[in-house]
């Protein structure tokens, strides 16, 4: 089985712009979670989607949003980018329902905000 894929792998944006990141889960996985990884804050949970519905949300401002499609692919969007949004954004998929099952991680999208 192909692993979790994320596109694009690298992205450079300027402050105030918006960005959309994409995640394709492993075939058959219906749950997708997103994490932000920074040197200062480590790995922080953003949100989790299952069956096209957001089931959990981390402590991030409303500028961070996401969605899941019927084929389980997921996108996350960050609007009005700030310098502090520079990070590695990881997506993970799992077979189980919300909060169950092993999570398989993608390679991440490296976002740089200038």
Binding footprint of another protein on the chain (CB under 8 A):
3-4, 33, 35, 42-45, 48, 56, 58, 90, 92, 98-100, 102-108
The CB-of-63 to another protein minimum distance in angstroms stands at 19
- 74 contacts 32 by C-beta, under 8 angstroms: yes
Least gap, CB of 44 to another protein (angstroms): 8
Residue nearer to another protein on the CB measure, 44 or 86: 44
Burial of 15 (0-12, 13-18, 19+ CB in 10 A): exposed
For residue 85, give the 3-state DSSP assignment.
helix
Strands 104-105 and 42-50: unpaired
Smallest distance from another protein to CB 15, Å: 27
Nearer to another protein, 3 or 8 (CB): 3
């Amino acid at each position: 089985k192909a692993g979790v894929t994320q596109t694009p792998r690298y992205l450079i944006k300027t402050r105030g712009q918006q960005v959309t990141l994409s995640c394709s889960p492993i075939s058959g996985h219906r749950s997708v979670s997103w994490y932000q990884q920074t040197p200062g804050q480590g790995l922080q949970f953003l949100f989790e989607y299952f069956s096209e519905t957001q089931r959990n949300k981390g402590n991030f401002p409303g500028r961070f949003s996401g969605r899941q499609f019927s084929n389980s692919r997921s996108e996350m969007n960050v609007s009005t980018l700030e310098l502090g949004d520079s990070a590695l954004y990881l997506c993970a998929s799992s077979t189980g329902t919300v909060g169950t099952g092993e999570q398989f991680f993608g390679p991440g999208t490296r976002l740089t905000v200038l």
